[in-house]
Amino acid sequence: MADPLGLAWALDWTRRAQATLAEHRMELIDLDRAIGDGDHGENMDRGFKAVVAKLDESPPEDVAGVLKLVAATLMSKVGGAAGPLYGTAYMRAAKATEADVDAAGVVALLEAALEGIVARGKATIGEKTMVDAWTPAIEAAKGVAQGGGSAAEALRAAATAATEGAEATIPMKATKGRASYLGERSIGHQDPGATSTAYLLACAADAAEAG
Ligand SMILES: Nc1ncnc2c1ncn2[C@@H]1O[C@H](COP(=O)(O)OP(=O)(O)OP(=O)(O)O)[C@@H](O)[C@H]1O
Ligand SMILES: [Mg+2]
């Protein structure tokens, strides 16, 4: 994929996200069953299926247009915590993305997404939420961007760090969201939202490396 990343990348990312979330639907349901209400896999699968249907209906013209379409669709089609959280993330990311995306643009996009999640959910690092995947992802992408790496390299580093961040939620005690009702019993389970974040960022990196 060309660097900076453009419309083709954003479309490919979104379609890969739909396929990956469909593939991991049961895994995300099981993770959410352990510490929540078991709907996260269903929420994300339904949301991204609706996103792809919208993409076919009204094709966006640029990266920001794709991100905006994802945001609006997740906000309207996905209930619970994740719909508004991811919806706000994608909306802020769209606003932070004016043109095609280079490594610095990847950092700006991810930072804006996290700002949206925090504005909405008020979680900080260590509370066993998707914030624990986004935060190390941004740090990793920044390292690549500052070292002169490409957008694809920044996304791969972000995805790897998000996967590690999601795994690092296992020993954490949840203090935000539905999982916090479990208190100590939330310890020992991986957070579903951090896991879906890791999948989304892996798809972004895969799309950047493809073609
Ligand atoms: N305040 C928050 N800040 C950031 N992320 C959060 C917050 N609350 C929940 N989450 C994330 O959302 C995920 C759960 O999403 P899910 O789609 O299952 O919604 P839900 O919690 O079931 O929503 P509801 O309880 O409103 O039905 C968690 O795994 C966590 O990562
Ligand atoms: Mg849930």
CATH 1.10.540.10 fits 7-209, yes or no: no
> Nearest residue CA, atom 7 of ligand 1?
177
> Nearest residue CA, atom 27 of ligand 1?
80
Per-residue pLDDT of the chain (211 residues; tens, 9 = 90+): 668 999 999 999 999 999 999 999 999 999 999 999 999 999 999 999 999 999 999 999 999 999 999 999 999 999 889 999 999 999 999 999 989 999 999 999 999 999 999 999 999 999 999 999 999 999 999 999 999 999 999 999 999 999 999 999 999 999 999 999 999 999 999 999 999 999 999 999 999 999 6
- Asked if residues 177 and 121 have their Cβ atoms less than 8 Å apart, the reply is yes
Query: Is the pTM above the cut of 0.85?
Result: yes
- For residue 27, which of 147, 195, 143 has the smallest C-alpha distance? 195
Q: Which residues have any ligand 1 atom within 6 Å of their CB? A: 32, 36-37, 39-40, 43, 80-82, 85, 117, 121-123, 129-131, 176-178, 191-194
User: Looking up tokens 């060309």, which residue turns up?
Assistant: 2
